[in-house]
Amino acid sequence: MTNSKPPIWRDQRFWRIAGQFLAVFLTAVVITMLWGNLNRNLQQLGIQFGFNFLKQQASFDIGETLIRYNPSDTYSRALWVGLINSLRVAVAGIFFSTIVGVSAGIGRLSDNWLVRNITLVYVEIFRNTPLLLQLLFWYFAVFISFPKAENKISLWGFIGISQNGVEFPWFTLSPEFSALVLGLIFYTGAFIAEIVRGGIQSVPKGQWEAGRSLGLKPGLLMRLVIFPQALRVIIPPLTSQYLNLTKNSSLAIAIGYPDVYFVASTTYNQTGRAVEVILLLMLTYLILSLIISVVMNLFNRTVQIPER
Amino acid sequence: MRKSALILAIAPLIFTLSACGGESGQTANITGTPGSNPAAQATRNRWDTIKSRGKLICGVSGEVPGFSFVGTDGKYGGIDVDVCRAIAAALFDNPDAVEFRNLNAKERFTALQTGEVDVLSRNTTWTLSRDTSQGLEFAPVVFYDGQAIMVRKNGNIKSLADLKGKAICVQTGTTTEQNLADQMRKRGITYKPVVFEDINITFATYAEGRCDGITADRSALVSRRTTLPKPDDNIILNEAISSEPLAPAVAKGDTKWGDTVKWVVYSLVKAEELGINSQNLAQFTNSNDPDIKRFLGTEGNLGEGIGLTKDFAARIVKHVGNYAEIYDRNLGPKTKLNLARGQNQLWTKGGLLYSPPFR
């Protein structure tokens, strides 16, 4: 019996598996308890859990819609309108905050004193004040303070700016949407700038020297040598900023932009279906976050050094 | 290394055991009262909870002068606040045994359902769906209101039709939001709702000129107009959009507590009808009128039917006054709001206020 196995409770593998089982069991117990508690409380109030309310007529209006909607549509239709409004903010926000962030991040390392310090001030101000405050600032101090529609400011003859929003010849952006998107762009952009700066600084000095000795001009050096290498460091934290931006778009409720959180909270208020609506919202944001994660992870894979 | 792995593995086990322990303890507790629904049991205790706590927790808005607002003296005042004080007077003979919680339109029902507040006295409209499917139980109406629209005087808007294509500020979570949509749909007027959660932001946005109109209950518009930078530059359109009976509410399933709140409100109306107020109360204690005797508890024991003292109505009148006193103090001609009694007059004077008999 020289090769006898150790007793099972001394076996690490056993404990690892048992630990997983216990964790699952524990979760199940907690969920069952919470579920039981919820049902007891709802029963006591004479409320039935269920999603049938989604088919009821919403009977509230929504200020901005990309798809056809009127108050006689259902709550589920209203929620779709909200979701599409949220996606509109998220897509525009992610796109422009990347541009702002990358520019400011590179600007932070510029040889030009003015550029370096302007970006420094921008990053420090926007990173160190609460987003809610910034949104209220954009809304009340900027967009609502524009002149009335009759005396709108005209830019290059085709863009009109007034209290009613930013008017292009073919569409208008409401002040609520504009304030929300700009707020998110500049707030998230400041964080992205720091990520980009960190990424660029993580590229070994030798790479700069090698590039310069090849005769590359600063612009080309950045684009061809430094930035591709920096991306490996930049993308993972960038993903997390995109997630933050998407989730932060729910602060729209403070300045009256009808995003999915806003419509959901109206729905919950009109129907009293707090639990169902919150579950739906959690699921929505979870799915959005997972989609962003998956896309960014695929992108991340393409910039990593291929290993054998 | 191995030791820490072991601890990690065991930790959930310990948690599970303690969780099970907690649960079985709870089960024992529940089965301790056989034949009764434990959930119903819990609600029926609301009355005792308040009594043993020694004070009432009352959900108010805190943002609407005349209804519930913190005044310059730092104290809550308003008709909704006085209803809370009347309940406290009936329960504890002390109108100050109330803790006020500010709730916004969205939070209010959940706060009531989860027991954060004992009663909601917060210019809330009594509607069928709230009464039936949202777990609420309404007490009698304390203020009959109607929805209206406020616009700027120089805005050239005289009626709802003039609001075609205009932006209207609304607060979310209110019946107002749906009524506006209903009315505009009925009349085929397209408009642009700009909706906010916070009442202060809703009015600030209107004040800044983003919206051409703002809609809310008429009383709320009158009240909030006093807080605008130039109150007189704003007019309230005469068109009534809806009827809004504002009433206190309690959580459903607790008859005793619901009855208490209900009869406190009726006491205020009845006192006015009988001509009893906080100043002349003493003169009525020796009255020979059986109606007054029953009301003040000098004869019979009506109050005990709802677990209160015989003289609960006398306590209310002594500390808070009757409905007319409350109205005059908060909304009447001597206040900034200067709202006419209108529908909120006694039935004997052509209004809608009516109390069932105290017998």
**pLDDT tens digits for B133-187?**
788 999 999 999 999 999 999 888 988 899 999 999 999 877 888 899 999 989 9
Contact between chains at B39 and A41 (C-beta distance less than 8 A): yes
Q: Which residues of A touch B43 (CB under 8 A)?
A: 44
Residues with Cβ within 8 Å of B259's Cβ and at least 6 positions away in sequence, in order, are B306
Q: How many CB pairs under 8 A join A and B?
A: 132
Residues with Cβ within 8 Å of B165's Cβ and at least 6 positions away in sequence, in order, are B190, B191, B192
Token digits of residue A64: 């901005």
Nearest Cα to A194, choosing from A246, A140, A233?
A233
Whether B5 has a pLDDT exceeding 60, the answer reads: no
Residues with Cβ within 8 Å of B208's Cβ and at least 6 positions away in sequence, in order, are A140, A144, A145, A163
Residues 154-193 of chain B whose Cβ lies under 8 A from any Cβ of chain A: 167, 172-173, 177-178, 180-182, 184-185, 191-193
Q: B72 with B227: CB under 8 angstroms?
A: no
Higher pLDDT, B5 or B123: B123
Q: Which residues of A touch B191 (CB under 8 A)?
A: 61
The whole-number pLDDT of residue B56 equals 96
For the entire predicted model, the pTM comes to 0.80
Residues 199-258 of chain B whose Cβ lies under 8 A from any Cβ of chain A: 201, 204-205, 208-210, 251-253
Q: Which helix (H) or strand (E) holds B176?
A: helix B175-187
ipTM here: 0.80
Q: Tell me the pLDDT of chain A averaged across its residues.
A: 91
- Spans in chain A with pLDDT lower than 50: none
Contact between chains at B135 and A22 (C-beta distance less than 8 A): no
| Beta-sheet strands, E only, within B22-179 | 56-60, 63-64, 68-70, 76-77, 98-102, 119-120, 136-138, 143-152, 167-171
Render pLDDT for B198-226 as a digit per residue (tens, 0 to 9). Answer: 889 999 999 999 999 999 999 889 989 98
Residues 248-307 of chain B whose Cβ lies under 8 A from any Cβ of chain A: 251-253
Whether B7 has a pLDDT exceeding 50, the answer reads: no
Nearest Cα to B236, choosing from B227, B224, B249, B248?
B224
Render pLDDT for B273-300 as a digit per residue (tens, 0 to 9). Answer: 999 999 999 999 889 999 999 999 988 8
Q: How far apart are CA A56 and CA A53, in angstroms?
A: 5
Chain A residue closest to B41 (CA)?
A44
Whether B34 has a pLDDT exceeding 50, the answer reads: no
Angle B85-B171-B176 from CA coordinates, rounded to 5°: 80
Local structure of A160: helix, strand or coil: strand
Contact between chains at A19 and B8 (C-beta distance less than 8 A): yes
Contact between chains at B9 and A22 (C-beta distance less than 8 A): yes
